[in-house]
Amino acid sequence: MSADEEQSPPTETAAVSADVNGGPPPWLLRAFLLAAATVAGLMFGFWILQKLQGFLLVLLVSLFLAFAIEPAVNWLAARGVRRGLATGLVFLILTVVTVAFVWTLGALLIDQVTTLVKNVPDNVDQVIDWVNRTIETNLSSDDLRKYLGEWSSTIDRYLVGLAGNAWGVGTAAIGAIFQVLGVLLFTYYFAADGPRFRNAVSSLLPPSRQRHVLRAWDIAVEKTGGYIYSRALLALCSTIAHYIALRILDVPSAFALALWVGVVSQFIPTVGTYLAGALPVLVALVHSPSTALWVLGFIVVYQQFENYVLQPRITATTLDMHPAVAFGAVIAGAAILGPTGALLAIPVTATVQAFASAYIRRYEVEADGDVEKPERPPKKQRKWARQLTIHRTGRDRPRE
């Protein structure tokens, strides 16, 4: 071997073989460290989200409530009222309405429970007589008292166990109170400082993105406020209709029951209708079974009238959403966030739908019968086209 060959630099193949024989390539360790850091970061992020789940839920509910009351706050602010004072006035009105609603229903429940307890013996005898006549049995009030005694013992044991866990119940109640206070505090700040908060968020984005964020914000406020407005209007119509029907049927506490049906059926998604209709039926059943049937029939008929006549007209300008989409959104929201998700699902879906419709272009769909068939060229033009085809390709095309 010559001296030149001994001093020649190692080739690329020799370098690669040296790397293979000498150990792993240097980039492998960096890739492993990067993958480990990514996995650790994701795990830490999920852990943080899990720990902050309650706080994030409070912020989400507060933002929804702020969007709901912001149209009213803007209306007062446009007439010279400071935003802080306008937000306080809206809060005061909502507090008075809520306290009046709870007070009215509390008086109703106390009155009906007292009446039910007084009429228990007579109602038991009537039920036993009806069962004996209907299915030809020989039940007696003694047998029913025996069963009631067993149920009473079970309820007593449950209450004793619940009282033994009074510390856990008290802690949960205190936590719920703090969550409610947190929701009210953040709602006030979001509504009172709405424009400032919106500008602070937009300032973090480039000017090309700010327009989209501000538009999405306005759409969210419009749709959420429209949702609350439409539900309040439907609740008012339902309350008036049920009050008239309950007064005609001579059901006691007609106004409180009608108010319960109107509010619960509109502001509790999916199951609100059933919860709202159960109370007046039970109250009517305490006084007369036939009256309870009439009440149940009116509730079913009015629900159909509301679904097919009132609701499409009232929500046409606020929530242009198909009922199936709304129902699916409620189920999905309940699966993700529970009752809170079910409550927020419809306005969130309406906001996403409105924002998408603002940026997605739609075209009219033409039916097969409406599509115009291409007009057949005249005979002279077809002759020229045939001669041109023969000249270019050397062969004739099939006749049409």
* Residue 339, CA distances (Å) to 57, 64, 268, 272, 344 in order: 12, 14, 9, 12, 9
pTM of the model: 0.63
Pairwise CA distance, residues 335 & 251, whole Å: 38
What angle is formed at CA 70 by the lines to CA 68 and CA 73, rounded to 5 degrees?
A: 130
Positive or negative torsion for Cα 223, 224, 225, 226: positive
Across residues 72-81, what is the average pLDDT?
Answer: 88
pLDDT at site 100:
84
Band of residue 165 on the pLDDT scale cut at 50, 70, 90: low
pLDDT in tens, 299-340: 989 988 887 788 777 766 666 666 677 777 778 877 787 777
pLDDT in tens, 173-221: 677 788 888 888 888 888 888 888 888 888 888 887 888 878 888 878 8
Residues 357, 349 contacting (CB under 8 angstroms): no
pLDDT in tens, 334-368: 778 777 777 777 777 777 776 676 666 667 776 65
pLDDT in tens, 263-276: 888 887 667 778 88
